[in-house]
C-alpha cells in the first residue's frame, strides 16, 4: 500500500479518538460547567449528526480543491477546534467547537477515502479502505482508553489538547507525503460534474450498499455504546474491566478490517454470505451469555471482528457502485457509516428501560442485522442486475470470455453507464469490477 495511506490512517486515528472519547469525559465536563449529564450528553449526538450532514456538504464544497490542500485544511481546522474547546469556559462555545470538529472530520474522511481509492489500482480499493478504517479501530483500542485515562489524571481539557497535538505531526506528514496535484480516477475518465456525481445516488445498487452498511454500523455502535453496564452489572466485573472489554472489541475490529481488506475486492460475496449469519447469531448469543465473563470477552472480540469485516466490505462496495463519482464517493461512504453510528445508539437506548435492561441494545443489534439480511435477500434481483457496455472490464472479463461465477455471490460491482446488460459471444451476461464474481456474478442465457 502507498505510504500516504498510512499517514491518512494516523490522522483518522486522532480524529476517531475524538469521536468516541466523550463517553469517558462527560462526568468531568458536567462538573466543570455545572450541567446535568443529559445536557452535556448532547455533545455526542451533535458530533455524529455533524458527520452525517457534513460529509456530502463539505465534500461538495471542496471537490475542486487539490486533495492535499483539502486534507491539510480539514485537519488543521479540526486541531484548531479542539484547541478552542480546551480553553473555553462556555458550554455553548464547546458545543460549537464539537460541531466544527465534526464537519471538518467528515470532510477529511470523505476526501481521504476518495484519495485512498484513487491512489491504488482499482482491484485493491478494499485494502485501501481497510488501511484507513484501521485508524478508527486503533482509536478504539488505544486512543479512547488512553484519552479517558488522561482525562482522569489531568482533566478533560488535557485530552482535547492531546488530540489537537496529535494532528500536527500528521499534518506535516501529509504535506510531505500526499501528492499536491488532484488525483484523478481513471475509471471516471477524470473529473465529473457535481450534478453528474449526485445523480449517481439514484442507482439502486448504490442505495442498497449504503443502506446495508448503515444498518450493520447501527448494530455495531448500538451495542458498543452500551457495553459498559453489561460488563459491570450483567457480568459482575469491576470498572477496570470496561477498558479491557472495549480494547477486546477494538482488537476484534482491527482483525475484521484486516481480513476484509484482503477479501472485499475479490470475494465480498463470501464475506457477506458467511459473516452475515454469524453476526446475526452473535448478538443474541452475547445477550444470552453476557453473565459469563469468559464468554463475554470472547464474543465481544468476535462481534467486533465480524461487524467491521462486513461494514468494511459494504463500504468498499459503495466505491465500486459510485466509481464514476470520484470526488463524492467518499462522502457517500462517510454518510452511510455515520448515519448508522448516529441511529444505532438512539434506537438501542430506547430498550434500556424495558424488561431487557442492559441487554436490550444487544438484542436490538441482532434485530438490525436481521433487517439488513432480510433486505439483502429481498432485493437480491437488484444486487444481481448487471450494467453494461460503458463498464470497465476487469482482467478476468476479457471480450469473448464468459463470466465465471459462484451461486452464493450477492451482487455486482459498479461501473459506468446504465444501459442494457452486455453479453459475451456465448450469451453470458457480463458484469464489471475487479472481480465481479465477488459481489455477485450470474450468467443468463439468451
Q: Tens of pLDDT along 9-37?
A: 888 998 888 887 876 787 788 889 988 86
Reduced to 3 states (helix: H, G, I; strand: E, B; else coil), residue 413 is coil
Taking phi over 0 as left and psi of -120 to 50 as alpha, with beta for the rest, 259 belongs to: alpha
Residue 118 lies in a domain: yes
Residue 173, exposed/middle/buried by CB under 10 A (0-12, 13-18, 19+)?
middle
Residues 237 and 268 both lie in one domain: yes
Reduced to 3 states (helix: H, G, I; strand: E, B; else coil), residue 429 is strand
pLDDT of residue 58: 82
Q: What is the mean pLDDT of residues 204-211?
A: 88
CATH number of the domain bearing residue 367? 1.20.1250.20
Percent above pLDDT 70 for the chain: 81
Residue 443 lies in a domain: no
pLDDT at position 243 over 60: yes
Q: Which residues contact 58 (CB under 8 A, 6 or more apart)?
A: 74, 103, 104, 106, 107, 110, 331
Distance CA 145, CA 430 (A): 49
Tally DSSP H helices, then E strands, for the chain: 18, 2
Q: What is the mean pLDDT of residues 377-401?
A: 49
pLDDT of residue 181: 62
Residue 399 lies in a domain: no
Domain that holds residue 340: 201-384
Distance CA 114, CA 122 (A): 12
pLDDT confidence tier of residue 383, bands split at 50, 70 and 90: low
Residues 217 and 175 both lie in one domain: no
Q: What is the mean pLDDT of residues 260-281?
A: 86
Residue 172 lies in a domain: yes
Residue 369 lies in a domain: yes
Residues 99 and 221 both lie in one domain: no
Distance CA 115, CA 184 (A): 9
Q: What is the mean pLDDT of residues 148-164?
A: 89
Residues 211 and 153 both lie in one domain: no
Distance CA 198, CA 40 (A): 36
* pTM of the predicted model over 0.75: no
Distance CA 143, CA 446 (A): 56
Q: How many domains does the chain have?
A: 2
Residue 403 lies in a domain: no
Residues 176 and 268 both lie in one domain: no
CA 357 to chain centre: 28
Residue 437 lies in a domain: no
pLDDT at position 404 over 80: no
The neighbour count for residue 6, using CB atoms within 10 Å, is: 15
Amino acid at each position: 500500500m502507498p505510504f500516504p495511506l498510512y499517514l491518512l490512517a494516523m490522522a483518522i486515528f486522532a480524529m476517531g479518538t475524538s469521536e468516541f472519547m466523550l463517553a469517558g469525559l462527560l462526568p468531568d465536563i458536567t462538573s466543570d460547567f455545572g450541567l446535568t449529564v443529559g445536557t452535556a450528553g448532547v455533545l455526542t449526538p451533535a458530533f455524529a449528526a455533524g458527520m452525517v450532514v457534513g460529509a456530502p456538504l463539505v465534500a461538495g464544497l471542496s471537490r475542486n480543491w487539490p486533495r492535499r490542500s483539502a486534507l491539510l485544511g480539514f485537519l488543521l481546522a479540526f486541531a484548531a477546534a479542539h484547541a478552542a474547546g480546551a480553553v473555553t469556559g462556555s458550554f455553548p462555545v464547546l458545543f460549537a467547537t464539537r460541531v466544527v470538529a465534526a464537519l471538518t472530520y467528515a470532510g477529511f474522511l470523505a476526501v481521504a477515502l476518495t484519495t485512498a481509492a484513487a491512489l491504488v489500482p482499482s482491484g485493491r480499493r478494499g485494502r485501501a479502505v481497510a488501511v484507513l478504517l484501521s485508524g478508527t479501530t486503533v482509536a478504539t483500542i488505544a486512543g479512547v482508553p488512553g484519552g479517558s485515562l488522561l482525562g482522569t489524571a489531568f482533566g478533560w481539557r488535557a485530552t482535547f489538547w492531546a488530540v489537537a497535538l496529535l494532528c500536527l505531526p500528521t499534518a506535516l506528514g501529509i504535506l510531505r507525503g500526499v501528492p499536491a496535484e488532484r488525483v484523478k480516477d481513471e475509471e471516471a475518465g477524470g473529473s465529473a460534474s457535481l450534478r453528474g456525481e449526485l445523480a449517481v445516488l439514484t442507482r439502486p445498487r448504490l442505495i442498497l450498499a449504503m443502506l446495508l452498511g448503515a444498518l450493520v454500523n447501527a448494530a455495531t455502535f448500538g451495542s458498543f455504546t452500551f457495553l459498559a453496564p453489561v460488563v459491570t452489572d450483567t457480568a459482575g466485573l469491576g470498572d477496570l474491566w470496561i477498558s479491557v472489554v472495549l480494547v477486546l472489541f477494538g482488537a476484534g475490529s482491527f482483525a475484521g478490517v484486516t481480513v476484509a481488506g484482503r477479501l472485499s475486492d475479490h470475494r465480498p460475496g463470501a464475506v457477506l454470505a458467511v459473516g452475515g449469519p454469524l453476526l446475526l447469531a452473535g448478538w443474541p448469543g452475547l445477550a444470552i451469555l453476557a453473565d459469563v465473563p469468559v464468554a463475554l470477552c470472547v464474543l465481544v472480540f468476535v462481534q467486533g471482528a465480524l461487524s467491521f469485516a462486513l461494514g468494511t466490505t459494504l463500504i468498499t462496495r459503495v466505491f465500486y457502485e459510485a466509481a464514476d463519482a470520484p470526488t463524492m464517493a467518499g462522502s457517500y461512504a462517510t454518510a452511510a457509516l455515520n448515519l448508522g453510528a448516529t441511529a444505532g445508539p438512539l434506537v438501542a437506548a430506547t430498550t434500556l428501560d424495558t424488561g431487557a435492561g442492559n441487554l436490550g441494545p444487544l438484542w436490538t443489534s441482532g434485530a438490525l442485522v436481521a433487517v439488513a439480511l432480510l433486505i439483502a435477500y429481498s432485493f437480491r434481483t437488484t444486487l444481481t442486475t448487471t450494467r453494461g457496455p460503458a463498464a470497465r472490464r476487469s482482467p478476468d472479463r476479457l471480450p469473448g470470455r464468459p463470466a465465471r461465477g459462484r451461486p452464493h455471490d450477492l451482487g455486482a460491482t459498479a461501473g459506468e453507464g446504465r444501459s442494457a446488460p452486455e453479453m459475451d459471444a456465448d450469451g453470458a451476461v457480463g458484469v464489471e469490477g475487479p472481480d465481479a464474481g465477488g459481489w455477485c456474478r450470474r450468467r443468463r442465457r439468451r
